[in-house]
Amino acid sequence: MTTTSSGRHQQGGRTATGGSCITNGSYGNTWLAARKQLGVAATGELSGIDSWEHNVTEAAATVHERFMRETLQLAERGRGRVSPRPLVGSLVVRDGIVVGHGFYQEPEPSHAEVRALREAGAQARGATLYVNLEPCAHYGRTPPCTTAIIAAGISRVVAGIRDPNPQVNGHGFTQLREAGLEVITGVLAVASTQLNEVFIVNQLERRPFVHLKVAMSLDGRIATRTGASRWITGTAARAAGQALRHRYDAIAVGVGTVMADNPQLTDRTGWERHRPLVRVVFDSARVRLPPDATLVQTARQTPTWLITTTTADNAEHLARLARCGVRILAVEADDRGRPCLATALERLFSEGISSLLVEGGAMLAGAFVDARLIDKMTCFIAPRLIGGTTALSAIGGTGAPTLEETLQLTGVTLEQVGTDFALTGYAGRTIIEALAAARVAEQRFSL
């Protein structure tokens, strides 16, 4: 996303008018830096990542892809247990046999590659190491993975994508090559990018990855004209929605949704996560969040954060919410007196939130769409018609004035979920460009 002096935000060649607060942000410069890290020319053409030529036979390519799929499956096992760090899996393969494997998970600081090498032991010498994300080349909580890989005597490293972290970003591959190792990249690069889409946006835009989720009827309604909304979609779709919650650090709704539905907003999958799901309520300067809402009454058991504006004048009400355990985050207001979304995302990121699932309602969803701050969207669509001119639509906000200025999703998939359908696509420019670069890398690998 780039920010122009007029306060309009470009997305995929389209523009959308947002609040004046956006023009004060640094996303324009961040985006240009992101394009350089992705290997994307300023003109919009791919300048290429890892432009060296790979001399890989078709048979070898098939083998590399097979082991990389296993690597990605290993990395996925860290889901819910790594944020804000990336999902990484690694295999050590010798003579076609896996002799070591590992995946990253908290609180153990050891990286996936080191775990795999530790299991392989002496069999790592002369073997091939597979990893979905470039090995780190810097000192952090642990020494560089590249040092361990070289010391173990690995002869070849097969990787999915570069690590967008500026401290790595190609340096890992360079160190391995300079040490005489063969390095092959771009293997299942698209799948590797999708696996770490949150981490990529975090590193390149310095804000949380935002996923908008809506459940609606075939005609785009989220409630009837009388306000009835439970349940538009079936049990399978609702279970899929819970699975989505498990993937994210925080879930967000507008205060109107809290007042209308009094939701719990919890992760009820029962799956392990190393940090609790944070519930975020977007309010306004008026501060309408009811003290008797379930979110407030359970704030000491499950983190609940209220985002309001620095101009909020209801100090007594805020103090009451705080006494219940609600954390108050005040950010600058937009030109409508509501929290500036870009600033709110920056604040959430500074508080350790790397991913945000926006669930509703229509006005909050519309505000994120208007501001072009959506990276991904999932619509659970029930094959039923609600109708009615006063029935609530899924997306509110100002909306696009022309068809040319609408927000276009790319990489769209459609999947049947029980009796309903899930449509998912990408809307954020950074992740769209990352996926485009990954496709080029995959093509180079397969040549």
| DSSP labels, 46-114 | B--SS-SPP---HHHHHHHHHHHHHHHHHHHTTTTSSTTSPP-EEEEEETTEEEEEEE--SS----HHH
Name which of 79, 73, 72, 77 is nearest 275 in CA terms.
79
Tell me if residue 70 is catalytic: no
State the number of CA atoms in the 13 A half-sphere of 113 facing the CB: 27
Name which of 185, 194, 155, 193 is nearest 50 in CA terms.
185
Measured between alpha carbons, how far is 415 from 315 in angstroms, rounded to an integer?
47
Q: Tell me the sheet residues that pair with 331.
A: 309
| DSSP labels, 253-269 | EEHHHHHHH-------S
Which one from 53, 65, 113, 316 is the annotated catalytic residue? Answer: 113
Name which of 17, 22, 12 is nearest 397 in CA terms.
17
Tokens matching residue 343: 């600033």
Q: Virtual CA dihedral for 46, 50, 55, 61, nearest 10 degrees? A: -80
Measured between alpha carbons, how far is 255 from 360 in angstroms, rounded to an integer?
9
Measured between alpha carbons, how far is 224 from 220 in angstroms, rounded to an integer?
11
Measured between alpha carbons, how far is 72 from 76 in angstroms, rounded to an integer?
6
**3-class DSSP assignment, residue 333:** strand
| DSSP labels, 124-185 | GTT-EEEEEEPPP-S-SSS--HHHHHHHTT--EEEEEE---STTTTTHHHHHHHHTT-EEE-
**Beta carbons within 8 Å of 239's beta carbon, 6+ residues apart:** none
Measured between alpha carbons, how far is 407 from 9 in angstroms, rounded to an integer?
11
Q: Which residues are catalytic?
A: 113
